[in-house]
Structure 1
Amino acid sequence: MIGEAGTAGWRTFLWLWGSQALSVIGSAVSGFAFNIYLTQTRFPLAEQKPQLAAALSLTALAWTLTAILAAPLAGTWTDRHDRRKIMLACDLLAAALTFATLGLLLLPAAPLWALVAVTGLMGLVSTFHT
């Protein structure tokens, strides 16, 4: 029989699991929407295919290289610090970066370097969150 402490622990686990699942799903949907933005809004014309390929490649490389290079540091850091605080900080940073991305996308022509930089930062935050 589960006592009150066990029920509270289960409730805490479900709350944490649900909020983190929502955060990860939201980040994935935002990344997908970002690629759709690049394809449909930023570089929609057939003659812009080289620019689209460059933009998609640069943003994917920024995310991936940042994540790969930061992984050893993130693993070491999270082993030595409170994981709950790290996850909360990463969730807040990811939200701030998502709003920064939204702000960039609302500009008439967001600079590609800024989009690549924000994407790289998202990769960094995601690595620490994971």
Structure 2
Amino acid sequence: MVHRGFSPMFWAFWLIGATLLAFIALPLLALLLHPTLGDLRQVAEMADVRSAIGLSLAAALFSTALAALFAVPLAYVLARQQFRGKSAVETLVDLPLTIPHTIAGIALLLVFSRGGWLGAPLAHIGLEFWGTFAGIVLAMSYVGLP
């Protein structure tokens, strides 16, 4: 490719792209630069914050374990085998990446809430997801796939 200078369209696209980069980078930069050690210490002393962090870490651990238990064997089969419908399975596995988290949450509620397709029968045996640790793990697992 011969370099003949940049066109006005190139500069317009670069400006648009730079705006997007600033939109991504500025909040992250503010997150790194704004809080002082005193601010962080004050927040870390709050019992609710420590509890939320502990809950998040525990749910992430369980979600990771579920991924190892279910996703790794499926990934092995998809990587090693050719079978009818393989592309459909791969597409289904990739779908959670394309669904906004809010929509994924609504979909999970439709299936796993007390009146949902699976939630109602599971509630009869004592397994509930609404407002529970199991619900958090379920949501983290879903949005963390594949």
Which category describes the TM-score, using the shorter chain as reference length?
A: 0.3 to 0.5
Decide which structure has the larger Cα Rg and report it.
2
| TM-score for both structures, normalised by structure 1 | 0.42
**The structure with more helix, counted as a fraction of residues:** 1
| TM-score for both structures, normalised by structure 2 | 0.38
